[in-house]
Chains A and B, each alone.
Chain A
C-alpha cells in the first residue's frame, strides 16, 4: 500500500470523455486517480477494478461536492473548472448524469466557457494586430482558432444528443 505515481498527459477539453475512459482504464490496471494538476495525474495503487472515476466541468460549488460525497462518491480534486470523483465499484453504479437533458446542460456549460475564452483571444488578437506585439496577436489568433474548433466539437456532441432527445428523454 502507499505506492504512487504521476503521469503527464494532455487531453483536449472536447475529449473529456476520452480522458475519463483513460482514467478508468488506469483504475482497472490498479491505479486510481488521487490528484490532478495541469496535464498531471497523480495515482495511487488500488485493487484492479476497485474504483470507477468520473469527471465533469462545473463552476465552483461546495454544496454539490457535499451532495456527491453523501451519495458515496469521493472528491479527488479540481483543476480549473474540472472536478474529479471516484467511487468504489462495490458501492454501486456511478454516473454523474442519467438523462439526456443533464448531459446537454453539461455540454452547454463547457461550450459557454470555450466561447468566452475564444472571444477574449479574438479580441486580444485584434488589439495586438493594431499595436506592436504582432507575434502575440498571431498566438491569440491560434488560440482563438483552437477554441472555436473545440466549440464545434462540443456542438457536434450536443447535436447527436438533441437528436436522441426528440424521441427519448
Chain B
C-alpha cells in the first residue's frame, strides 16, 4: 500500500494527481482508466478542499491510501472536514438542460462517480472516508 498526505489547499491538486497516476501506472492500469481514476479523485479532493475545509474555515489535511487487490485498484481519501456525502450532490438530470439553465455545482461529483466502477462514502470517527475502486 502507498500513502500520501498533503495540506488541504488547491495547490496540492498537482501532487494528488501525480500520486494517483503513478500508482495506476505501477499497477498496469490502462491509460484511459488512469485518466478516469485521476479525474474521480481530483474532483472529490477539490470538493473536500473548497467545501469541507475552506468554506467551513477549517484547516486540515488530505490523506490517501492506494492499494491493489487482485483486479481492483482502490484509493481511499481521508479528511477531517465537515461531513459531506457527495452522493447527495450528484444530479445528472441537469446535464441535458441548456448551459444557461444549469445549476452550478454537482458537476464534479457527477463526473467523479461516473468515472469509477465503485464509489463509497462513510463518516467514521470524525473523518470522511471516500473510496474509489476501478477494475483492471
* Mutual binders A and B: no
